[in-house]
Amino acid sequence: MMSLLVVAAIVVAVALGYKTKINIGLFAIAFAYLIGCFGMGLSPSEVISLWPLKIFFIIFSVCLFYSFATVNGTLEKLAEHLIYQCRTVPQLLPFAVFFTATVISAMGAGYYTVLAFMAPITLLLCERTGMSLITGGMAVNYGALSGANFVSSQSGIIFRGLMANAGIPENEAFINAAGIFVSTLIIPLLVISVLVFMTGHGKAMKASAYVATEPTPLNREQKMTLWLTLAMMTIVLAAPIASIALPDNATVGFINSKMDIGLIASLFSVIALLLKLGDERKAMASVPWATLIMICGVGMLISVAIKAGTIDILASWIGNSIPPILVPIVFGVVAAFMSLFSSTLGVVTPALFPMVPPIASALGIDPMILFIAIVVGAQATSISPFSSGGSLILGSCPTEQSRTSLFPQLLFRAAPLGFVAALIFNALLTFVY
């Protein structure tokens, strides 16, 4: 009975957030308090302790450091330079947009930030080069998603934190997150290749007379921010990779045990402030507070569900009712459906990731397959005009006419295409692996 109540609370929280446009995390906190204290007999202190403090600290610290690159214009300038390099081969522009968005997002800008300044640039390029709106929209959306999934970027860090909370060892969580990143890098390349080389878009772009103006060089602050960002990424990635490569080396093990991306990012934020690379107040304001509240609020409610035994019941039902070979595909479809109405980071992954270890253990499936299937499925429908990503792209259209034209293309072509690509990928991953 209590498990059904918690599931209903999660559904109601998402529905209320979707309907009222109020942060889903706030509804989740309220339900966690009401169900935890008055339905399950937990004390207020016990409910408050369910707040995922480690995930909150890591996301806050990393986003604060990366926000300097946004505030001082480093990422925007870098995007201009990367796209300019592709001016002589216009038919490859969708790939340039994709890789530019991927690099910028991987450097910490995050999905929404990249879309906010890359989508207008991309749609403007569509007008000038003959690139179709659907191809440009999917390229920038896919790039922002895959880059954010990088193990040291915003989404990748959240995935690793959620996996650790679900009981996955940190080294395994790192490998699983790398698997997610690689998978979400492969799918877009295949989809964009089909759109460019098999639909005639490439020829249309090659025939266009596109003239690109050379962007201005990076200034002192932007160059230093770029080097500082690359240095932090190197430090964050080097320790776990060395630990995986040399598992028996005591020195490597000791160094890796002292590495924490949240603390490292905090240290680099202090260095950035001392070097005057950006305004502290603007950097603090750039932290995605709404996303933080949503992830942690839903995390509290999911923790209440775990205490109520809801996750174990759902995991047991999936394990007993669905053939093992179809479980990753089913997870992908469920994640895609949930993502139509809610956030991948704030709702879908916090709700589904805790089910993975018990199901994987019971069915003998590699947990990484299920984690990949969930993220691939959830991000397949992010281009829908009803999702935050699709709506950002629509809002970036330069004219009302292009906006009217793009809406049905996103809904009836891009979203289904992304879903089918994800379904095929998850099926191949299941049967090949």
Q: Give every CB contact of residue 308 below 8 A, 6+ residues apart in sequence.
A: 2, 3, 5, 6, 35, 40
**pLDDT value, residue 306:** 82
What's the rounded Cα separation, in Å, for the pair 402 and 277? 38
**pLDDT value, residue 1:** 67
Tell me the pLDDT tens digit for each residue of 146-177.
Answer: 999 998 888 998 899 899 888 899 889 999 99
Tell me the pLDDT tens digit for each residue of 173-214.
Answer: 999 999 999 999 999 999 988 888 776 655 555 555 556 677
Band of pLDDT at residue 107, cut at 50, 70 and 90: confident
**pLDDT value, residue 208:** 56
**pLDDT value, residue 142:** 92
Band of pLDDT at residue 241, cut at 50, 70 and 90: confident
Tell me the pLDDT tens digit for each residue of 251-274.
Answer: 888 888 888 888 998 999 999 999
Band of pLDDT at residue 353, cut at 50, 70 and 90: very high
* Amino acid in position 420: V
Q: Is the predicted pLDDT of residue 85 greater than 80, yes or no?
A: no
Pure H helices in 322-355:
327-339, 349-352
Q: 3-class SS at 207?
A: coil
What's the rounded Cα separation, in Å, for the pair 343 and 317? 25
CB of 222 within 8 A of CB of 206? no
Tell me the pLDDT tens digit for each residue of 362-409.
Answer: 888 899 999 999 999 998 888 877 676 777 787 777 666 777 778 788
Nearest by Cα to 29 from 10, 56, 4, 7: 10
Query: What is the pLDDT of the chain when averaged over all its residues?
Result: 84
* Amino acid in position 368: M
Q: Residues 34-45: what's their mean pLDDT?
A: 92
CB of 47 within 8 A of CB of 37? yes
Nearest by Cα to 349 from 382, 381, 384, 373: 373
